Every structure is written in C-alpha cells, then in structure tokens.
Amino acid sequence: MKKLAVTLVVGVILLAMLLSLIELWHSGSVRTRALAVKPGDSKMQVEKALGRPVHIFTPDPQARTNFLAALLSVRSETWAYGSRFDLRLAFHGQSPIRFRIFLPEADDVSVVFDRSGRVAEVMIPKSSP
C-alpha cells in the first residue's frame, strides 16, 4: 500500500512537471508568433497567428460611472495568451493554477483591439529567466 502511494505521488509530480514544460515551451512559441501580429490586423488574423486566447477581457460597462470598475477593467477588448499552469509558482507558496479575473497576467502576451475590432497594440513581455 505504501509503494502504491509513493508511486502515485511521484506520478503526479512528474505529470505536473511535464505540464509545466509544455506550458513553458508554448509561451515561448506564442511570444515568437506574436511578433508577426501588427497594428491593424483583424481578430481572424490574430487567431490564425496565435490560436485561441487563454482569456478574453472586455471593458466593464460600469467603468464609466464606477471608479473601482474603471480601475479593475480593461479599456478595450484584450486577448491574453499565456500559461494556465505554472509549477514554479508552487515553490513560492502560490497556486500553480493561473487565475485571470480582471486583467492579463504580467507575463502574458496581450493583444488590445480598438473599437473597430482591429489590433491597436501587441504587448510581448520579455521572457523570464
């Protein structure tokens, strides 16, 4: 019974490490592909270059009248590309699952669209060491 428990724990740890490596490779790949996205590109062109975003942020309608909503909301539609799982965070006492509630994470590739649905800005963070 003890062997089974140890084997199960080791298997879970190896699976978590594999998922982290895949996410790390994918995030580097997204950064490279994001270089091809230019202001003026359509949403279809962005999705063709980068795939489906991890999260789509839309402006909160209350942001015009509510200060807190304005502070926590994006100003225009923003697509976030990044990892959903980061095992490195667990070693810093944080949850390895990435939750995006109000804004993209600092290390996400973000694509901001203007009112006409065209790319206004592409934000590509520097890769972490």
Q: 76 and 120 in contact (C-beta within 8 Å)?
A: yes
Instruction: Tell whether 62 is covered by a domain.
Output: yes
Instruction: Tell whether 102 is covered by a domain.
Output: yes
pLDDT for 129 equals 46
For residue 108, which of 76, 86, 75 has the smallest C-alpha distance? 86
pLDDT tens digit string along 19-38? Answer: 655 555 554 588 889 999 99
Neighbouring CB atoms inside 10 A of 16's CB total 14
Instruction: Tell whether 65 is covered by a domain.
Output: yes
Instruction: Tell whether 128 is covered by a domain.
Output: no
Per the model's pLDDT, the better-predicted residue between 48 and 105 turns out to be: 48
Q: Is 90 exceeded by the pLDDT of residue 87?
A: no
Which backbone phi and psi does 118 adopt, to 5 degrees? -105, 155
Neighbouring CB atoms inside 10 A of 33's CB total 16
Instruction: Tell whether 23 is covered by a domain.
Output: yes
Which of the residue ranges 13-17, 70-74, 102-106 has the most confident prediction, judged by mean pLDDT?
A: 102-106
Instruction: Tell whether 129 is covered by a domain.
Output: no
Domain count, the chain: 1
**Alpha carbon distance 123, 22 (integer Å):** 22
- 119 lies in which domain range? 2-123
pLDDT for 65 equals 72
